[in-house]
Structure 1
Amino acid sequence: MHIVEGFLPLYWCIIWFILALIFIVIGIRQMRTVIREVPESKKVLGISAVLMFVLQFFGVRFVTGTTSSALGNGFSGSIFGPAITSVIAAVILLLQAVLLGYGGLTTLGANIFSIGVVGPFVAYLVFTALRKHKFSPVIAVAFASFLSTICSLLTTAVQFGLVYGDFWKFIILMFISQLPLIVVDVLITLVVFAFVYNSMKDNPIFFDDFSKYLKFR
């Protein structure tokens, strides 16, 4: 789902980079606040970053101009929201572009926006809503992870569609390439989150008032 080098015009690369940068700046501020006010969050931040990196490590170049892989953005998105997740995604996607050839440097902003912003934003909304309705955190993160991946995929299709038209063609092709990976993504995220939650139930990041540190300010 990483858009590779050369598939987006320069002006679109700049637009997506500016949009992603807004969230990254907010995310850096949020991350500093969270780490200062809730030191216990550092372990979970680290786990969510490692999960995202590992799941995205195995990528396959696809005909649509993307590198297909699992994303792992539902975990961080559910707990920390889109701003902090955009910071994590930016570091991971930059390393992948430079070291592994996944995605690209000019398309970095577009990839951060789809994988680190839109998907995690949906995950956070879904996870928060389900928790308010007394769903188990593990069940909530499963739904959040699934919809996070779907919405990241749809965003990538839109990014292509804005340039080349024919949105449905890109949506269908990406679903064909990503469907098995979506299943893998959700299952692994579910297992990792269940382990973390059952091991750290008393961690303040799982308390309802943790969201006060994630305000856009």
Structure 2
Amino acid sequence: MHIPDNYLSPQTCAVLFTAAVPVIALSLKKVKIQIAEKKETVPMLGISASLSFLIMMFNVPIPGGTTAHAVGATLLAILVGPYAACLAVTMALVMQAFLFGDGGILALGANIINMACIMPFVGYGLYRLAQKWHHEKLGVILGAYVGINMAALVASIELGLQPLVAHNAAGQPLYAPYPLHMTIPAMLFGHLLIAGWVEAGVTFAVFQFVQRVAPTELYTPKQLTPDLQKSHQLRHYCYGCLGLLAILSPLGLLAHGTAWGEWDAAQLLAQLKRAHLGQKLPTGMAHGLHFNALFSDYAIHGLPVSIGYILSALTALLICYLLGKLVISHDTNRA
């Protein structure tokens, strides 16, 4: 679901980035209030960003030779609230784009809208609705499943509109070449069939664990008085879980194939030739932005791919941990 650069026209990227800015700004404002009411939000925000980052490293195979992955956005919304989840997933997406080349730089606004805005707010909204009807567990599963599929639907529409909004005088696409009647089924097939259930399963399992270990850590609009001992215990469990996920991250390499719509230039060209849709890349894609990330595809030059995966995961954990420490230190100095 990470849209790469050059799949969307610059105009589309600009519109979606502009749409993402007020959501991020509102989330920052809401989370600032949340932190003032509950200081434990700060370390949980870093844990949430790390968890989302790691979850997205575990690809699952999709029939037809592609892959997909969970995101964890609804899970984070249930744990720390939808606004904090929005910031946490955004943080993960920024790291992925700039450090690891996973998702485009120009397309960052689109990816934020899809995975950091639509997914947590839709998922959390369904969860809260089911909770009011006294079906909380059903709401966890339904929110996670619908949230990721809604994000996939919007991503497919963004891609499928490109031949309509960005083409040359001859009507040939300049960017993503697949129309809506191809992008929507292709994206939703894998998410409705597999990725949505993986998202729902992970969300439900973590929800059950937190509810048993530290139920006051589950987010509610009216913050409950936390049990500090259980909060501390939960964070220790989370750090251990994140470390284990980082070590196990190479398992994501077992799923062969690239996610639909995330092909690099060579892979896309091969797809177009195989489907007899063209013998060369659309002009805008061929001459667009080509950003070389420091650890592209989570690889480190000279090291086995699996080791690069683990070190990339640990790097993300360290960045999130240090950012959390900086926020805590800043608040302490202000106080």
- The 5 Å alignment of 1:40-189 reads 40-59=40-59, 68-80=68-80, 82-136=82-136, 138-165=137-164, 166-178=179-191, 179-189=193-203
- Could you tell me how far apart the structure 2 residues matched to 1:46 and 1:94 are? 14
TM-score, scaled to structure 1: 0.83
**Aligned 8 A contact 1:59 1:67 in 2:** yes
Distance 2:219 2:123 in 1: 15
Say if 1:3 and 1:67, in contact at 8 Å, map to a contact too.
no
Flag the 1:59–1:96 CA change in 2: closer, same or farther, 3 A. Answer: farther
In the TM superposition, structure 1's runs of 4+ consecutive aligned residues that sit over 6 Å from their partners are: none
Q: Deviations over 1:54-104 (max 9, x none)?
A: 1112358x9xxx984221111123455544333222211111112222111
Residue 12 (structure 1) aligns with: 12
Matched, 1:27 2:32: no
1:201 aligns with 2:218: no
Cα distance in 2 between the residues matched to 1:58 and 1:207: 29
Letter matched to residue 184 of structure 2: I
Q: What stretches of structure 2 of length at least 5 have no aligned partner?
A: 165-178, 224-335
- Report what 1:214 is aligned to: none
Identity %: 27
SS of the residue 2:222 aligns to:
helix
For structure 1, the 5+ residue unaligned runs are 211-217
- Is this contact kept in 2: 1:157–1:167, CA < 8 A? yes
| Offset from partner CA, 1:29-74 (integer Å, 9 cap, x none) | 11111111122334543443232111112358x9xxx984221111
Shift in CA distance, 24/199, structure 1 to aligned 2, threshold 3 Å? same
Distance, in Å, in 1 between the alignment partners of 2:152 and 2:76 is 17
Describe the shift of the 1:182–1:36 C-alpha distance in structure 2 as closer, same or farther (beyond 3 A).
same
TM-score (norm 2): 0.56
Does the 8 Å CA contact 1:3/1:104 hold for their aligned counterparts?
A: yes
RMSD across aligned C-alpha pairs, in angstroms?
Answer: 2.5
* Counterpart-to-counterpart distance in 2, 1:117 and 1:108: 12
Aligned residues: 205
Higher helix share: 1
**Aligned in 2, Cα 1:96/1:111: closer, same or farther, shift over 3 Å?**
same
